[in-house]
Amino acid sequence: MSHTTTSTSRPAGHLSGARGARLRQARPKVHPQGERPSRRARLLGWIFMIAVGLYFLAPVYWLIVASTKSTGDLFSTPGFLFAEFNLWQNLVELSQRENGIFWRWMFNSLIYSGLGSVLMTFISVISGYALAMYRFRGRNVVLAAVIGSMLVPQTVLAQPTYTLLVNIGLNNTMLGVLLPSLVYPFGVMLGYIYAQSSVPQELLEAARMDGASEWRAFFSIALKLLSPGAVTILLFAFIGSWNNFMLPLLVLNDTRLQPVTVGLSGWSQAAITVPGLQTLVIVGALVSIIPIVIVFVSLQRYWRAGLAAGGLKL
């Protein structure tokens, strides 16, 4: 274990420090005595934080307010104040527009991002585990490829991927969006770091001596130890693929296959000539971020639970 630990802190020490920190130690909340700032510092701190809070939350607050307004009120009443409560009508209209295409988009996003990120996380964890726990021929090549490709962002790949998909006939299909997004080198890197720091080699060997197969050792022992790290990967993978815009825009012609982001931005474009569509863009935007916020908050709870359960002693 100690060997694994020291070797972790070298090659990608700052990465593990940054992302893995939350997992490693639950720090006591109480500050050491003496760290008591002056009254002026605290006042300035408050003013700064309130300004920051306003900046980051006001747009979200506006979105909620605007979602409850009719198109007429949207343009004629003060933006930050509630007017006549029209949210239910807006939702009904949102659901009925173009035979409920909005919900189809939400479903597509769920497939692309939900299913996609779960698969992405599994692939990342199992690959990171293999790289961390085994010494085998080709390991360095794979590691170098992972690190190198972390510097090649998805958007640069979008155009080449589109060209490839056209060549193999997968353009304008759901698989054409789903499959390319499963390549997630950053996730593999995180999986590698987490495996190094949280799966003791001795445990693996003990499992082998008990006659467990490699497969079994991974699924029934390592995966449990890796689950807090996996949640972190899942969060990044989910947000990353939910943000994926260029590839679906290139690949999908059929509006019924689009993720919600592409669909809404299409509506936003059409809103220039179609009155009333603006309200639907607003309500749609609100509805579309609710699942992410739920995923986000619930994963955060899981994180904290993982921290409390602990078990990760470095």
Partner 1 sequence: MSISTSTTPAGSRRAWRSGVRWAPYVFLAPFVTLFLVFLVAPIVTALYTSFFSVERSGLGFGNANESVFVGFDNYVRAFSHTGFITSFGRVLLFGIVQVPVMLTLAIALALLFDSATVRWKRFFQLSVFIPYAVPAVVATLLWGFLYQPRVSPIVELLQSIGVSVDFLAPGTVLWAIANVSIWSVTGVNMIIIFAALQTVQRDVYEAARIDGASELRMALQIKLPMVLPAVFLTTLFSIIGTLQLFNEPMTLRSVTSNVTGDYTPNMAVFSATTLGGNLNLGSAMAIILGLVTFALSIIVSVASNRRKGAAA
According to CB under 8 A, which residues from 5 to 44 bind partner 1?
7, 13-15, 17-19, 21-22, 24-25, 27, 31-32, 34-37, 41-42
Structure tokens that stand for 148 in this block: 């190198």
Structure tokens that stand for 170 in this block: 């997968």
Query: Interface with partner 1 includes 174 (CB under 8 A)?
Result: no
**CA separation for the pair 158, 155 (Å, rounded):** 5
Q: Taking CB under 8 A as the criterion, which residues in 208-237 touch partner 1?
A: 208-209, 211, 213-215, 218
User: In the complex, what is the shortest distance from the CB of residue 44 to partner 1, in angstroms, rounded to a whole number?
Assistant: 8
Structure tokens that stand for 141 in this block: 């090549």
Q: Which stretch binds partner 1 (CB under 8 A): 62-70, 84-92, 94-102, 223-231?
A: 62-70
- Which one among 289, 302, 303, 307 touches partner 1, defined by CB under 8 A? 289
User: In the complex, what is the shortest distance from the CB of residue 110 to partner 1, in angstroms, rounded to a whole number?
Assistant: 14
**Is residue 179 exposed (0-12), middle (13-18) or buried (19+ Cβ within 10 Å)?**
middle
Query: Interface with partner 1 includes 177 (CB under 8 A)?
Result: no
Region of 311 please: left (phi>0), alpha (psi -120 to 50) or beta.
left
**CA separation for the pair 259, 106 (Å, rounded):** 7
- Which one among 94, 177, 199, 264 touches partner 1, defined by CB under 8 A? 264
Residue positions counted in the chain: 314
Q: Taking CB under 8 A as the criterion, which residues in 127-146 touch partner 1?
A: 127, 129-131, 133-136, 139, 142, 145
Query: Interface with partner 1 includes 159 (CB under 8 A)?
Result: yes
Q: Please give the size of the binding site for partner 1, defined by CB under 8 A.
A: 110
**CA separation for the pair 126, 134 (Å, rounded):** 12
**Is residue 41 exposed (0-12), middle (13-18) or buried (19+ Cβ within 10 Å)?**
exposed
User: In the complex, what is the shortest distance from the CB of residue 118 to partner 1, in angstroms, rounded to a whole number?
Assistant: 13
